Structure 1
């Protein structure tokens, strides 16, 4: 099954008007920050928190109600980023700082601006975290390229051309700084994305295999099982049941 790369773009860069019904936009927001995707978070933050639809009234005063929602958002961000590897002390300290700052806000506009600042702060820290062991610019560029091109077949030759380095030298440098081969790093990153898609989108395993540029579904399942110990279907079933959500 061959599926256009546009489907991957639609999954990663969804427009609010075409959001898939089975994908929770709030979950997308938190997981995007957790992944360190600054470009996407900038895009998502164009929708101001003060204009967000469906927010419950937590206070008789609209500004105070928004402050409560802001605090909830910061608490969720702290937890998601801790799950993603940010140390507990830093994550909760950031959350406390932004909540206290929000408490002193005198307008919706101030809260909107603070919300964007806080989200980008967390996102930047998560992006840096994924490259914390990286000391060279070439490997850092490779990692950014991998995250931005998961919908394509990425090769060492691609990365060699990107960095201007000899393939053998880049391969050794990449392994030294990440502890993984280029191909293993690419596979691991794609499987992490596939796990998220299995749980939070309506794409089938076959579609995900094509979207993430695996040669076929069989190879995707083989790599997925090697990484997780489970087939894609079994992983989806176990995790959906654990969350109390119905199987699709």
Structure 2
């Protein structure tokens, strides 16, 4: 096993749904972790109280009102990220309204801060369910987890079937039926999705990304990337590199 390649890959893909660590800004990481449904990481990030977070702007000179305003910003951004991740608009907005009303009824800053992790974990749990529910059987859900954890390797239907403990032909049919695409198509899509994130948020070159994600060669990576995004990796990076603005901090 190439330890260097695996470590480089894990920097981007170890968390659920291929999240990025550094150089993600803290607020991007926070909202993306919720979107991914990574409840363990959400609990970790929420250990720091909303009251003690660095970088909170002064939106009101009234301390209670200021915290409420920041809570509303957080609720709005969490809802947006979760909608991007597949949550129904009505659900995302209903949850946002519910928790904003909860925060609005608080009479102390500490009470608002106490609602914050409850809201974030609620969204994360729902996103985790959405992610798992896309695959109706435990075998296909296990396949998806295996793929997301091993994008730095060459994954074949045979290796996947062996890891899951199913016949490769049966697994291939089951996966296509439940996910709506072949295993190879799904793997390519997840690799391109991860490569897109790496191009935006890291300094890795396209050739390095191609190697980290176990593409046969850079030419094939460029070809597949172009088919999926309509542009070359370099053009994609030039248009999107760290050009992400999500508003104020939570």
Return the TM-score normalized by structure 2. Answer: 0.81
Residue 229 of structure 1 and its aligned partner are, at CA, apart by: 1.9
Q: 1:116 to 1:241 in 2, by over 3 A?
A: closer
- Render the CA deviation track for 1:215-236: whole Å, top value 9, x for unaligned: 3322322221121121111122
- Within 5 Å, which residues of 2 pair with 1:21-40? 23-40=24-41
Q: CA deviation at 1:160?
A: 1.8
> Partner residue of 2:194?
193
State how far apart, in whole Å, the 1-side matches of 2:112 and 2:122 are.
15
Q: Distance in 2 between matches of 1:235 and 1:228?
A: 8
- Say if 1:239 and 1:108 are closer, same or farther in 2 by CA, change over 3 A: same
Cα distance in 2 for partners of 1:76, 1:33 equals: 11
Contact 2:79 2:93 in 1 (8 A): yes
Partner of 2:126: 125
Q: Distance in 1 between matches of 2:158 and 2:107?
A: 54
Per the alignment, residue 66 of structure 1 pairs with 67
The alignment status of 1:162 with 2:163, answered yes or no, reads yes
1:87 CA displacement: 1.7
1:131-188 deviation line (CA, Å, top 9, x unaligned): 4442211111211222233333333234323332111111110010001111111111
Is 1:82 aligned to residue 114 of structure 2? no
**Structure 1 segment 97-246 matched on structure 2, within 5 A:** 97-240=98-241
Give yes or no for contact 2:14–2:149 (8 Å, CA) kept in 1.
no
Tell me the TM-score normalized by structure 1: 0.82
Q: Which secondary structure state, in structure 1, belongs to the residue aligned with residue 188 of structure 2?
A: helix
Gaps of 5+ in 2: 246-250
Say if 1:13 and 1:40, in contact at 8 Å, map to a contact too.
no
Specify which structure has the bigger relative contact order, considering alpha-carbon pairs within 8 angstroms and separated by 6 or more residues.
Answer: 2
Q: CA deviation at 1:64?
A: 3.0
- Following superposition, the deviation at residue 46 of structure 1 comes to 3.3
Is the alpha carbon distance of 1:109 and 1:238 closer, same or farther for their aligned partners in structure 2, counting shifts above 3 Å? same
